[in-house]
Structure 1
Amino acid sequence: MPAFEEITRHHDIDPDEDPWVQGPPAPETVVLVPYDPEWPARYQALAADIRSALGDAALEVDHVGSTSVEGLTAKDVIDIDLVVADPRDEDAYVPLLEPLGYVLVIREPSFHEHRALRLSDPRVNLHVFGPDCPEVIRHRMFRDWLRTHPEDRALYENAKRSAVPGGGTVMDYNRRKEGVIRDIYDRLFRAAGML
């Protein structure tokens, strides 16, 4: 388990690092939709496929992101955290996921060796991290906090809606809601006795 200091620290990506495996994505319109009660079942099917493809190489598979929070408006994209022994060893998992349609799109050595694969239909962002990665813990804590704190869930939803205008990439959209996300993290970390 990482130290509290590692979990509570907001890790920034090296600005000189080019994370795009196949070049930067084209700008796309962010579309938010009401919570879909089918999202958990979609995640379960996707997780079963990932576990079947990877076997013991999939140390953990978890539904994270907005589609994992009942009642929260979100992009119709399932976010999944996959923990493997070493994200740098792409040969141990990428070729096994490609037959399912996953494509490696992001490689971020400066951000916990994060890798991201994308599935186009249905839309999935598969985030790959190593064991005891603070970011995996943060994702789960944020999800669980929003599930049990309707006031922050509403605050986050409002931030998402406010971040949509302005266009650009999904990363631009994410940057526009970052302040609210960090405020929520501050509250949940304090409540957990980590700050």
Structure 2
Amino acid sequence: MTAIEIVGFVVSPAHAYEGRPGDGPLPVPTSTPDEISIRAGHGVVGDRYAGRAAHREAAVTVLAIEALEAVAAELGVPPFDPAAARRTILTRGLEVEALRGREFTLDSGDGPVRLGGGRPAAPCAWMDAVLAPGAHAALRGRAGVRCAALSSGMLRLGPATVTVADGLGEPDPARAGEPRRRRARV
């Protein structure tokens, strides 16, 4: 069990980053609530990825705020608005990229919420438009992890703990970032 901090949440009912970055984001309301409700097999209540079959194993995204801070420093720009990265859960003190292929729980005081770390949350070209030129390339390999909601519960801003399931889902370095392959139906 490791002590961390949950520093932000981003919940949006629709995609804001569609089309060409030069056209600007769509005027979609995005909330940065103090707490979120996660439902097993569904995702974050009220979020654009919740309940969508294509996102069942990737309905929740987790990002380390330190990655955004490092990229801003490397690019020589002021700190970014973390909400612009559009990741569901923003943390401090958590090695997010190490969670790929592992089950873990987050607990901010209302009981543990179990998540299954999956593929990387790859940055898109929009990051150059909404964060800073060069952010898209600079975020590769550290833009967070997409996760499946394996249990239901509440998460709140502030101090939290993370527990990683020992020995379960050890990531295979040779397959890091590789999408899951589906078996063909016969």
- The bucket for the TM-score relative to the shorter chain is under 0.3
More strand by share: 2
Greater RCO (CA < 8 Å, at least 6 residues apart): 2
Hey, which of these two has a bigger chunk of helix by percent? Answer: 1
